[in-house]
Structure 1
Amino acid sequence: MTTYMGSGEVSTHRTDYTPDWLGKLAEDVTLEAAVMNGVAKGPEAVRSILSFARTLYDYQEFNVIGRYGESGFVEDYVATVRGEPIGSIVVIRYNEAGLVGNIVINHRPLRSVLLWSRIMAEHFAATEYGTFFLQPEDLPYAGGQEPVQ
């Protein structure tokens, strides 16, 4: 079974998870993700993006949630977004003050990454965060371009 499909056990599906670290963002926090172009900077941008992103999950099924090393935290989970399976690894790095300095989120598979990014682009289209997400020119065949051979 692929790692993003989950166990299929409905009793492990959570819809109530709110990460504690989301309330502890440093002023210079950054967010990078497989669904994004560029790096979001600052607590307002990170909270805006993640607050909406969290609403997209039908559920989350966690494999791991917890501290790692002296200054890190990790979440490993699978979920569905509009019925499509998605796996996520979230790596949180705390700064010397104990605040979240950097968030990196990796998703899989590609089909779900593209779906997620498209939904985010539509939601944030009229905002300063819209360009972080999938744009028509990002697609390999955009604008009638010929496929690369």
Structure 2
Amino acid sequence: MARSERSEAEGQNLTYYPWWLDNLADDVTLEGAAMNGTAHGADAVRAIVVKARELYEFQDFSFADDFGDDGFLEIYESAVQGEAVKVVVTVTSNAEGEAQSLAVLHRPRHALLLFSRLMHEQFAGTPLAEHFLSDES
């Protein structure tokens, strides 16, 4: 799917695949409201994004397109274990057109906290777990 195209199949399912996920810079960073610190590197960022998408029950997009000179923006609604969540993803590209930095906002707060704890469970026993809340947090 081209960067600025939106398929009719995107709404209410997970058929949307972000173009940038296969075009990450080696030194890409990911920050998010549900995260502690910053994830660094294509492997770590890809792993986190793939696991996050597995938690979403659907993705109902209101926007997914280029934004500004070097940005891409996604705005969608979803649910995680039945809890409604709204998500905004900003992607900034480098001069080579690779995704260089990602920032993700989940809201409302109770859904963000649930999402973060579930992500911690998904990565338990790995270094990526430290980016998310444990049940003790």
Give the TM-score taking structure 1 as reference length: 0.83
The answer to whether the Cα contact below 8 Å between 2:24 and 2:98 also exists between their aligned partners in 1 is yes
- 1:91 aligns with 90
- 2:50 aligns with 51
Q: Cα deviations across residues 98-149 of structure 1 (Å, max 9, x unaligned)?
A: 10000000010011000000001111110010100003453xxxxxxxxxxx
- 1:131 aligns with 130
Structure number with greater Rg is: 1
Structure 1 distance, partners of 2:90, 2:52, is 16
Residue 132 of structure 2 aligns with an amino acid whose one-letter code is F
Matched, 1:70 2:69: yes
Matched, 1:39 2:66: no
Segments of structure 1 that go 5 or more residues without pairing to the other structure are 1-10, 139-149
The answer to whether the Cα contact below 8 Å between 2:117 and 2:135 also exists between their aligned partners in 1 is no
Structure 2 distance, partners of 1:92, 1:125, is 27
Q: Cα deviations across residues 28-61 of structure 1 (Å, max 9, x unaligned)?
A: 1000011100000000000111111101111011
- 1:29 aligns with 28
Structure 2 distance, partners of 1:12, 1:18, is 12
Structure 2 distance, partners of 1:56, 1:41, is 21
Structure 2 distance, partners of 1:107, 1:87, is 6
Q: What secondary structure, in the 3-state scheme, does the structure 1 residue paired with 2:59 have?
A: strand
Report sequence identity in percent: 41
Segments of structure 2 that go 5 or more residues without pairing to the other structure are 1-9
**Cα RMSD for the two superposed structures:** 1.3
Q: Cα deviations across residues 63-102 of structure 1 (Å, max 9, x unaligned)?
A: 1000011100000000011110000000000001110000
- 1:15 aligns with 14
Q: How many residues align?
A: 128
